Amino acid sequence: MDKKQAKKRIEELRKLTEHYAKKYYDDDNPEVSDFEYDMLMVELRNLEKDFPEFNSKESLTQKVGGHVKEGFKKVTHEVPLQSLQDVFSIEEVKDFDERIKEQAIKNDIDNVKYVVETKIDGLSAALEYKQGKFVRGATRGNGTVGEDVTENLKTVKTIPMEIKDKIDITVRGEVFIAKKEFEQMNQIREENEEELFANARNAAAGSLRQLDSKITAKRPLDIYIFNVQKIEGKEFNSHYEELEYLEEQGFNVNPVRIYCSNMKEIEKAIEKIGEDRESLTFGIDGAVVKVDDLHFREILGTTAKTPRWAIAYKYPPEKKETKLLDIRFQVGRTGVITPMAILEPVKVAGSTIAKTTLHNEDFMKEKDIKIGDTVIIQKAGDVIPEIVEVVTKKRNGNEKEVSIPRTCPVCGAPAIRLEGEAAVRCTGIECPAKLFRNLVHFVSREAMNIDGLGENIIQQLLDNGLIKNINDIYTLTFNDVASLKKNGTKFAQNLINSIEVSKQNDLYRLITALGIRFVGSKVAKTLAKEYKTMENLMKTTFDELSMINDIGPVVASSIVEFFKQEQTKDLITKLEQAGVNMNYLEEEGSDNRFEGKTFVLTGGLENFTRKEASDIIEKLGGKTSSSVSKKTDYVLAGEDAGSKLTKAQNLGVTIINETEFEEMIK
């Protein structure tokens, strides 16, 4: 490769690695596998070595990836949180050992010792203690400046809020989600047809970097401490000694650490970790080899990005061949029909894989997947099994091509794929697979607004066979509801009253509640005002809908298809028989003084309930939110306002009291 070609490729690689690093570190949403990214970095590093005239401090080979997320305070690390130099072969580890030995000889150091540890697949964080008490925690960020995530780290149960010795110490650890917990998280997301986390590392990173610590608290985060960054009034001679001290103090220390005296022992340690990696409860993406002598580490020093006294050995992803025996289809809670590959069981990276998702129609076509194919399986991030390719040369002509059905395999309703979407969805509103999600939406605040009928109660009603369809809400009796709770008399009466009140809702709420694709409350209000009755709306045509402002062809098509379904007609008939209003009740007010404004309500109000104040704001064109951010326009603060008020003050958001609010709505 000549200089011109090298320069061009270096520039391409820098753009690619910057893009992929942003998706990985900043967005917690990787676009390529760790292995693919690592190989790009290896190519870039080698080219920069061969053509040093093109070196740049802005290259990711010279700096740590990652930036501070907006919304977090910045923390400057007193001791930088550097990354490690990755290597991909034992030969490179031997080269590292030779370099260390050369420096040892130059500095009259005998018997260099090492510690080999697991490289935990998570997000690096620094924990700061003053007089033994946890005072601040921060992410690595770019190595020099990180994000203050103290409140989020306080939700991690394995982080001690106070340690044994009353000293000032900063330690470094890796925040992670254990394999079992990660699989459970993704299983729930799959059931809810939410995008799956690509791997445990990004799930942990996304959880730790939440602006709302209540969300973080719901995630199963854990941490292993692996280094002392800074300590006052105490000295150590070796890294191993440091780790033992940290354990005595109550820290959750990296459990895999192997003391090695030579290269042969290092090789055995790496091999041992590789063999045991699947039995570990946490995910790893390599083994770290560290010089044990802390004084020698100081002599060896660091580069701008990495320490010279440590390297990370990365294990290659394991791939196996197996047979694709069948393709089956499952319907999720939102109606998405997902193809599942049924495989001849094969052991990959320590786990037996018998099935895996094929995601969607485009994925199947892109990979050219057929029943009877020989396929290659690997585990993405060592957790999620996936088909990476089809071995087409092993085809014998008996393979069978399969497409996602256009009829729901559960309820028989038409299944459609809308333009611009990858998913094929069941359109049946009475489909049993969609019932829970449809019920939750139907009773929600912006829809029929049935107070007291939350997700837990809905699940109990389903489990007890008291609801089998949406219209069954209106056949519930006092005794049905009271049976769900001990001493549930008051609760039952309130819920039955709320259900009865919902029958008188305006037509737009019912339209919203039906969950027509692309039809939210705003479009529902437009439709209610335009058609006046449910009967008129059900008879509408694509051409008529297309003439209405704010309704494009995609929305119009979705509405027409929805009302064509027999299940839709059946449900509306039953709701009407139950006494649910089918008519437009009131003209929309023309007063939109709060249009584009977001309010947050906090504390106790004297003259309004929270719901009454929210309804007024929404009627005047505004909206309410449960959390304060820079985008919040007003915080309406009542008695005993708490953390939301404090956050609003810190962000400079306009704070109003009840009297000022009453003036605004006159």
Which residues are identified as catalytic?
A: 119
Q: Which of 175, 125, 142, 5 is nearest to 68 (CA)?
A: 142
Q: Is the dihedral of CA 159, 162, 165, 171 positive or negative?
A: positive
Beta strand residue intervals within 1-105, DSSP E? 74-76, 85-87
- DSSP class of 639: B
Q: How far apart are CA 303 and CA 315, in angstroms?
A: 24
d(C-alpha 224, C-alpha 119), whole Å: 10
Cα–Cα distance for residue pair 107/47, rounded to 1 Å: 32
Report the distance separating Cα 154 and Cα 159, nearest Å: 7
Measured CA to CA, the distance from residue 129 to residue 10 in angstroms comes to 43
Q: CB neighbours of 303 closer than 8 A, spacing ≥ 6? A: 62
Element (H, E) at 396: none
- How far apart CA 507 and CA 496 sit, in angstroms, is 21
- Please state, in angstroms and rounded to a whole number, the distance separating the CA atoms of residues 320 and 370: 18
Q: What are the phi and psi torsion angles at 127 (to 5°)? A: -115, 125
Distance from C-alpha of 374 to C-alpha of 323, rounded to nearest angstrom: 5
Tokens of 525: 């209000």
List C-alpha distances in Å: 348 to 269, 352, 391: 22, 6, 17
Q: What is the C-alpha to C-alpha distance for residues 83 and 239, in angstroms, rounded to an integer? A: 17
- If we measure between CA atoms, which residue out of 355, 292, 284 comes closest to residue 314? 284
Q: What is the per-residue DSSP string for 315-354?
A: PPPPEEEEEEEEEEEEE-TT-BEEEEEEEEEEEETTEEEE
CA distances to 36, 95, 379 from 363, rounded to whole Å, are 19, 42, 17
Report which of 634, 636, 591, 629 is spatially closest to residue 609, judged by C-alpha positions: 636
How big is the chain, counted in residues?
666
d(CA 129, CA 118): 25
d(CA 334, CA 515): 10
Strands (E) located in 391-524: 400-401, 415-416, 425-426
The CA-CA-CA angle for residues 10, 16, 19, to 5°, reads 140
3-state secondary structure of 579: coil
Quick one: which of 153, 118, 129, 155 has its CA closest to 139?
A: 153
How many whole angstroms separate alpha carbon 404 and alpha carbon 457? Answer: 34
| CA gap 580, 448 in Å, rounded | 10
Other CB atoms within 10 Å distance of the CB of residue 330: 15
Q: Taking Cα atoms as reference points, which of 555, 195, 558 lies closest to residue 360?
A: 195
E strands, 422-525, are 425-426
